[in-house]
Structure 1
Amino acid sequence: MFRTPLSLFRTLAILEAISWTLLIAALITRAVDADLALAVTIGGGIHGFIFLSYGATVILVALNNRWRAWPTIVGLVSAVVPYATIPTEIWLHRRGSLVGNWRLEQTDDPRDRAWYDRALRWFLRRPWALGLLIAAAVVVLYVSLLVIGPPGGKG
């Protein structure tokens, strides 16, 4: 399904934009009728999970495609601004940052000898393990953030 970094990144960028729509619609629904506050809980929960998944995707693709700090920061920050993941994906694609395949094998490039590159290749060759690792990390972070509470407090 996600045969390239581009396909995974594009999918999560689109899902993040859709989740913003869901959250904004829920906020409007609650503003119209306070009895429908559950809509924000549901929409916010979905958006939060996709937000964290998008962040994990940015980091995975940045490592795989050897991005410098700037594109990685832009990719991560774009999730905070509603709908910014779409123009960010377009920008990254146009500049060639999403080109290429998953780096499954070591090359002659000296950068391929770093410990994190070896770990990345190991996980990329075992997508089930990578999926479990990312899912576990997202779930742990998501639950931690739920325990901490929403931005601005629970007022």
Structure 2
Amino acid sequence: MSNKAAVLFRVVAVAEAFSWAGLLVGMFLKYVVELGEGGVPVLGMVHGVLFVLYLATTLLVARPLGWRAGTVVTALLASIPPLATWVFEKWALRRGKLDGPERLAHGGTALFLDRDRVGTARA
């Protein structure tokens, strides 16, 4: 279950970050370059939908991934600054937060975990 939860979270987090970037570009075109609407109404709606989807997904995957309250709050706060969901997703991947609680028993990505720390966690 946690593998599907991790994939879902990663996809939604990156999509939300890209929607932020698109909205920022649209706002730049609208307000700085003054090229008309610059797609802001559509990009704003897309970003709004992905923002809410990110919040819901974060709350949905927290239990299967074994996140503590601090991780959940950090993930939710990452939805506010532009591109921070992507930064949080990369941090969570490096820290093994996307592997779920059974990562040591059944494997997992754990790309950047220290092997000594993982070895002591098994004992």
Structure 2: which 5+ residue stretches go unaligned?
Answer: 102-123
- Whether the 8 Å CA contact 1:20–1:47 is kept in 2: the answer is yes
Matches within 5 A, 1:131-146: none
Q: Deviations over 1:31-71 (max 9, x none)?
A: 1226x236211111110100110111110111222321110
Partner amino acid, structure 1, of 2:53:
S
How far apart, CA to CA, are the structure 1 residues paired with 2:39 and 2:94? Answer: 37
Question: Which 4+ runs in 1 deviate beyond 6 A?
Answer: none
Query: Is the alpha carbon distance of 1:94 and 1:38 closer, same or farther for their aligned partners in structure 2, counting shifts above 3 Å?
Result: closer
Which residue pairs with 2:58 in the alignment?
A: 58
| Alignment-derived partner of residue 139 in structure 1 | none
CA contact (8 A) 1:5 1:99 kept: no
CA separation of 1:97/1:3 partners in 2, compared to 1, >3 Å: closer, same or farther? closer
Q: Distance in 2 between matches of 1:38 and 1:25?
A: 8
Name the one with the larger helix percent: 1
1:82-122 per-position Cα deviation (integer Å, ceiling 9, x unaligned): 11111211222222221149xxxxxxxxxxxxxxxxxxxxx
Structure-2 residue corresponding to 1:33: 34
| Unpaired runs of at least 5, structure 1 | 102-155
1:16 matched residue in structure 2? 16
Aligned-partner Cα distance in 2 for 1:45–1:6? 25
CA shift for structure 1 position 3: 5.5
Taking structure 2 as the reference length, the TM-score comes to: 0.72
Q: Distance in 2 between matches of 1:25 and 1:38?
A: 8
**TM-score, length-normalised on structure 1?**
0.58
Give distance in 2, aligned partners of 1:65 and 1:28: 37
